[in-house]
Structure 1
């Protein structure tokens, strides 16, 4: 397991133990980075207007299209670290 994979795996554990729940925009960013890191580019059609949460998730993930998995893993780990320190919300 590479260093970035270890950091990503640890960040997945740490994110569940944050002292407070991040805001919705941060949660969307975490979701998008996680999906890009673990699945790759978004696939399928954008959800319709009745699925508002699905639409926002799709758009956040779609914005990362073309981002390499290792880059997404690094950004995810960095975001979780900043949340642990209380630097981001």
Structure 2
């Protein structure tokens, strides 16, 4: 299985993460997903009253510079880690 196929598989699995997944982890996944699918940040930073959108933008900006393949690989690793943690605490 190629990296793109594995990434797509884990993007689906990420939707099965427990509701108690921390916002910090959700933001890490969001940033890596955007970097893997879109590439570099291509929008301006949302205003201070759009806190959720601003946090998401900051998470994406935080992984700027990673290649798409590197972002896909990091995303897969993070989803695996979160799924393992969820299984261990179940």
Q: What TM-score comes out, normalization by structure 1 length? A: 0.89
5+ residue gaps, structure 1: none
Q: Does residue 71 in structure 1 map to residue 48 in structure 2? A: no
Residue-pair matches, total: 85
| Residue in 2 that maps onto 1:27 | 26
Q: Does residue 44 in structure 1 map to residue 11 in structure 2? A: no
Instruction: List, as ranges, runs of 4+ consecutive aligned residues in structure 1 with deviation greater than 4 Å.
Output: none
How far the C-alpha of 1:66 sits from its partner, in A, is 1.2
In 1, the alpha carbon distance for the partners of 2:63 and 2:33 equals 11
In 2, the alpha carbon distance for the partners of 1:85 and 1:68 equals 26
| Residue in 1 that maps onto 2:10 | 11
How far the C-alpha of 1:58 sits from its partner, in A, is 0.8
Deviation digits for residues 52-84 of structure 1, max 9, x if unmatched? Answer: 011111111011111100000000011111111
In 1, the alpha carbon distance for the partners of 2:35 and 2:62 equals 10
| Residue in 1 that maps onto 2:52 | 53
Q: What TM-score comes out, normalization by structure 2 length? A: 0.88
| Residue in 1 that maps onto 2:80 | 81
5+ residue gaps, structure 2: none
